[in-house]
Amino acid sequence: MRDDSALFFACSLIEYIGRIQKRKRGEIVDALGDGTLRRIYKYADVLHCEPIMKTADEYIRMQNITEGDFDNVGACKYNVPDYWTIGEVYKRLIEDVQEGDVVYTLKEVYGSWISDAISNYNTDFFYQSREYIRECYREGVVLD
């Protein structure tokens, strides 16, 4: 298995922006758009040299990402996982299901039902093994 640090950064940035703007993560992916996602992925090694809050702010302004009302952090009754942890969950899933273009797969994953499951911090879903999360994604449902 490869370790794609650019993908990790992109997923963590999406999570960070989603938290700041109180938007579902799929909405952030849609707002960023294909070209911007590709640029983030391509230049992640440069972008990660800046504080993530500065990078996020630039993309929020550039793409005019407005604030919503999806506050999964505020709704969390337990310890909130940090954005790097959630970025890693998405990165592993995308790596595990990718068959072609990484940005296409990223958009598919964030646009699917599993994004809501990962974003529900009142469950332990995001803590599950990468194999379990991959199989849930493939089956289209949380497995018993």
Rounded Cα gap, residues 34 and 43, in angstroms = 14
User: 55 vs 5, 12, 49, 112, CA distance in Å?
Assistant: 16, 11, 9, 26
Rounded to two decimals, the pTM is 0.95
User: 58 vs 27, 82, 112, 129, CA distance in Å?
Assistant: 17, 21, 26, 33
Residue 143 has a pLDDT of 82
CA atoms within 13 A on the CB side of 142: 12
Environment class of residue 124 by beta-carbon count within 10 Å: exposed (0-12), middle (13-18) or buried (19+)? Answer: exposed
Environment class of residue 2 by beta-carbon count within 10 Å: exposed (0-12), middle (13-18) or buried (19+)? Answer: exposed
Q: Give pLDDT tens digits along the chain (144 positions).
A: 455 999 999 999 999 999 999 999 999 999 999 999 999 999 999 999 999 999 999 999 999 999 999 999 999 999 999 999 999 999 999 999 999 999 999 999 999 999 999 999 999 999 999 999 999 999 998 887
Beta carbons of 117 and 123 less than 8 angstroms apart:
yes
Residue 76 has a pLDDT of 93
